[in-house]
């Protein structure tokens, strides 16, 4: 099979670079192409569909987006497989930047996490602050569906359990290992509780039997940073592309797009632009 | 039920509207799957024939390996190809990852063992006297082999259909090595997965129905070829 793979590689090596005849938009300048590893929330909410064409128009860079969990995105950065990251897992990000392979890390935007559950709320968490709500879910042994995929949302969930002094486990605690959209659906079908970013929830709430039961406390902030990778992470990293993207997304034009995104469809913006703001004062 | 009906309506609307995005997804799906199937046939026909006809040490082990390869989870092949094509991997310099070429590569690797195993099985079923006969009639080895392929064409076309069916409906490897990039590597299966995770169920079902339609179309053409020749004999 390895031989087969080699033969196939030789046969198709040219096929990726020739302009496609199949009606797919061709990539005119393959050398000006960068890889963005980001979270499922930015893709599933539709934000990237809005931002990336504008970035390509402004800068000439083509972007290949890999929508994965924040943990996987950081791992791709660490291996030099991605040029720039847009992620929301601050503790893991700081650790990652401290390793030295990454370049600058800048604040881009935030939205917030919400605790969702069935409308009849058997664990009685409605209106409670997040740590107490988590404690009540655990005490009631109500079904809690975790992403379990080392994403930013999963990291936030683990922080909340720690704050609530609960070690989740047992049959009530279920882990999907999947993205937010799938996890929301599993939660809805099982009439359980879960933690979600607000953007993904809003884009899908019509198809879900889930209500926002706990929201608004500072522990539920969901902060996104852009991290540029450097050659230290790998020879083929494109720091110029990374810088172009990072500079662009914190500039006023992109920040305005971010702030406006979602208003028309959901009656409220899905993200709050934060470039240049003081992170310690977010959400106050 | 509503979702299913909406999906059907969406599928028809997508096909009729000439929506650029869906057509590019359909075109790419066909391009990748047909290319991968063609490569798998190029690799699989000679290898399968060799396994069926030649006698060499380790032949049974090789046959068992091909049969195992038929059941190899695509996601494992996807992972294998991804690691090969990573920037830091041995073939990183080709910059193939997240391109249609990478998808063709992974899918050819998925389909090749299927073709090898089915071709080997098909050729072994041809009457062993057939070759002796051909030789007695003074046919060159190439002519004899061509005649043999002709003799086994029904199961050979079945091998092509099985290979195409395996790659066109595959999602794990396509997602991994292609990255599901809009306008570049998004095929019907990965588009359906994305639509599902966005909660756009009827769109996902529409993609699924279009996929079925394509698979049916390709298999119908192959079956017509297969059966027409079968009748003509």
Note the pLDDT tens digit of each residue in A223-266: 999 999 999 999 999 999 999 999 999 999 999 999 999 999 88
Mean pLDDT across the stretch A89-115?
A: 95
* Residue B73: inside a domain: yes
Cross-chain residue pair A44–B99, CB shorter than 8 Å: no
Nearest residue of chain A to residue B94 (CA atoms): A13
Q: How far apart are CA A187 and CA A185, in angstroms?
A: 5
Under 8 Å between Cβ of B86 and A237: no
Neighbours of B223 (CB within 10 A): 14
Lowest mean pLDDT among A17-26, B148-157, B176-185, B197-206: A17-26
pLDDT the model gives residue B230: 59
Mean pLDDT (chain B) is 89
Domain, as residue range, for B76: 26-186
Q: Is B194 strand, coil or helix?
A: helix
Indicate whether A5 pLDDT > 70: no
Residue A195: enclosing H or E segment and its boundaries?
strand A194-197
pLDDT the model gives residue A48: 94
Higher-confidence residue of A86 and B5: namely A86
Q: Is A143 strand, coil or helix?
A: coil
Indicate whether A108 pLDDT > 50: yes
| Tokens standing for residue B126 | 């041809």
Residues of A whose CB is below 8 A from B73: none
Cross-chain residue pair A9–B91, CB shorter than 8 Å: yes
Question: What is the band of A284 on the pLDDT scale with cuts at 50, 70, 90?
Answer: low
Nearest residue of chain B to residue A8 (CA atoms): B105
* Residue B37: inside a domain: yes
Nearest residue of chain A to residue B202 (CA atoms): A207
pLDDT the model gives residue B232: 55
* Residue B198: inside a domain: no
CB pairs under 8 A between A and B: 121
* Residue B20: inside a domain: no
* Residue corresponding to tokens 């020749």: B229
* Residue B15: inside a domain: no
Neighbours of B128 (CB within 10 A): 10
pLDDT the model gives residue B4: 86
Residues of B whose CB is below 8 A from A30: 95
Q: Mutate which of B37, B42, B45, B87 to disrupt the A interface (most A C-beta within 10 Å)?
A: B87
Under 8 Å between Cβ of A262 and A45: yes
Mean pLDDT across the stretch B82-91?
A: 92
pLDDT the model gives residue A4: 45
* Residue B163: inside a domain: yes
Q: How far apart are CA B150 and CA B139, in angstroms?
A: 14
Query: How confident is the model over A187-203, as pLDDT tens digits?
Result: 999 999 999 999 899 98
> A64: which strand partners?
A35
pLDDT the model gives residue A143: 96
pLDDT the model gives residue A13: 42
* Residue corresponding to tokens 């698979």: B215
Structural domain count of chain B: 1
Residue A8 sits at the chain B interface (C-beta within 8 Å): yes
Higher-confidence residue of B119 and A284: namely B119
pLDDT the model gives residue A223: 95
Cross-chain residue pair B87–A40, CB shorter than 8 Å: no
pLDDT the model gives residue B231: 59
pLDDT the model gives residue B134: 77
Under 8 Å between Cβ of A160 and A219: yes
Indicate whether A283 pLDDT > 90: no
As to burial, measured by CB atoms within 10 angstroms (0-12 exposed, 13-18 middle, 19+ buried), residue B64 is exposed
Cross-chain residue pair A22–B27, CB shorter than 8 Å: yes
pLDDT the model gives residue A14: 39
Cross-chain residue pair B108–A65, CB shorter than 8 Å: no
Chain B: give the shortest CA distance to residue A110, in Å.
Answer: 20
* Residue B215: inside a domain: no
Under 8 Å between Cβ of B185 and B179: yes
Indicate whether A24 pLDDT > 50: no
Cross-chain residue pair A204–B199, CB shorter than 8 Å: yes
Residues of A whose CB is below 8 A from B108: 4-5, 8
Nearest residue of chain B to residue A22 (CA atoms): B27
Mean pLDDT (chain A) is 88
* Residue B3: inside a domain: no
Under 8 Å between Cβ of B133 and A22: no
| Residues in CB range of B94: below 8 A, 6 or more apart | A9, A13, B85
Kindly report the backbone phi and psi dihedral angles of residue A65, in degrees, each rounded to the nearest multiple of 5, phi listed first: -100, 125
Residues of A whose CB is below 8 A from B104: 8, 12, 15
pLDDT the model gives residue A15: 42
pLDDT the model gives residue A97: 96
Question: What is the band of A12 on the pLDDT scale with cuts at 50, 70, 90?
Answer: very low
Cross-chain residue pair B199–A30, CB shorter than 8 Å: no
Question: What is the band of A95 on the pLDDT scale with cuts at 50, 70, 90?
Answer: very high
Chain B: give the shortest CA distance to residue A137, in Å.
Answer: 26
pLDDT the model gives residue A92: 94
Cross-chain residue pair A12–B199, CB shorter than 8 Å: no
Among positive and negative, which fits the CA dihedral B140, B146, B147, B148?
Answer: positive
Query: How confident is the model over B11-68, as pLDDT tens digits?
Result: 888 888 878 888 999 999 999 999 999 999 999 999 999 999 888 899 999 999 999 9
Indicate whether A7 pLDDT > 50: no
Cross-chain residue pair A30–B95, CB shorter than 8 Å: yes
Residues of A whose CB is below 8 A from B180: 67
Mean pLDDT across the stretch A91-119?
A: 95
pLDDT the model gives residue A27: 44
Under 8 Å between Cβ of A99 and A77: no
pLDDT the model gives residue B229: 61
Indicate whether B149 pLDDT > 90: no
List the CATH number of the domain containing B98. 1.10.3720.10
Is the ipTM here above 0.90? no
pLDDT the model gives residue A1: 42
pLDDT the model gives residue A3: 43
């Amino acid at each position: 099979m390895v031989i087969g793979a080699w033969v196939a590689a030789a046969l198709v090596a040219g096929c990726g670079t020739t302009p496609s005849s199949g009606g797919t938009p061709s990539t005119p300048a393959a050398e000006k192409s960068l890889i963005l590893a980001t979270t499922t929330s930015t893709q599933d909410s539709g934000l990237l569909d809005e931002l990336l064409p504008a970035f390509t128009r402004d800068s000439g860079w083509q972007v290949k987006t890999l929508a994965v969990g924040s943990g996987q995105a950081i791992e791709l950065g660490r291996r030099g497989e991605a040029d720039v990251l847009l992620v929301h897992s601050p503790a893991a990000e700081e650790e990652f930047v401290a390793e030295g392979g990454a370049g600058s890390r800048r604040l881009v935007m935030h939205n917030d996490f919400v605790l969702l559950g069935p409308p009849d709320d058997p664990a009685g968490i409605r209106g409670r602050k997040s740590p107490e709500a988590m404690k009540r879910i655990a005490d009631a042994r109500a079904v809690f569906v975790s992403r379990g995929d080392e994403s930013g949302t999963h990291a936030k969930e683990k922080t909340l359990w720690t704050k609530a002094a609960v070690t989740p486990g047992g049959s009530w605690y279920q882990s999907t290992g999947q993205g937010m959209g799938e996890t929301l659906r599993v939660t809805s079908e099982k009439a359980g509780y879960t933690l979600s970013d607000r953007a993904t929830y809003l884009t899908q709430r019509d198809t879900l039997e889930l209500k926002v039961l706990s929201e608004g406390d500072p522990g539920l902030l969901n902060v996104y940073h852009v991290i540029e990778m450097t050659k230290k992470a790998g020879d083929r990293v494109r720091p110029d592309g990374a810088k172009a993207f990072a500079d662009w997304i914190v500039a006023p034009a992109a920040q305005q797009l971010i702030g406006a995104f979602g208003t028309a469809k959901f009656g409220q913006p899905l993200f709050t632009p934060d470039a240049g703001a003081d992170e310690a004062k977010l959400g106050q | 039920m509503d979702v299913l009906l909406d999906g059907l309506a969406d599928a028809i609307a997508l096909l009729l509207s000439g929506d650029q995005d869906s057509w590019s997804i359909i075109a790419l799906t066909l391009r990748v799957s047909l290319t991968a199937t063609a490569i798998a046939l190029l690799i699989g026909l000679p290898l399968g024939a060799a396994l069926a006809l030649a006698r060499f040490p380790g032949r049974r082990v090789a046959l068992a390996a091909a049969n195992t390869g038929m059941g190899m989870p695509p996601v494992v092949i996807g992972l294998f190809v991804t690691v090969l094509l990573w920037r830091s991997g041995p073939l990183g310099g080709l910059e193939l990852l997240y391109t249609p070429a990478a998808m063709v590569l992974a899918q050819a690797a998925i389909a090749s063992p299927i073709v090898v195993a089915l071709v080997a099985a098909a050729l072994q079923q041809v009457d062993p006297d057939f070759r002796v006969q051909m030789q007695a009639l003074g046919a060159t080895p190439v002519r004899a082999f061509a005649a043999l392929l002709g003799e086994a064409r029904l199961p050979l076309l079945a091998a092509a259909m099985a290979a195409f069916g395996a790659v066109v409906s595959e999602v794990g490897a396509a997602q991994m090595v292609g990255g599901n990039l809009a306008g570049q590597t998004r095929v019907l299966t990965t588009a359906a997965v994305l639509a599902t995770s966005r909660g756009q169920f009827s769109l996902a079902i529409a993609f699924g129905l279009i996929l079925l339609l394509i698979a049916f179309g390709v298999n119908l053409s192959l079956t017509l070829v297969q059966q027409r020749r079968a009748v003509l004999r």
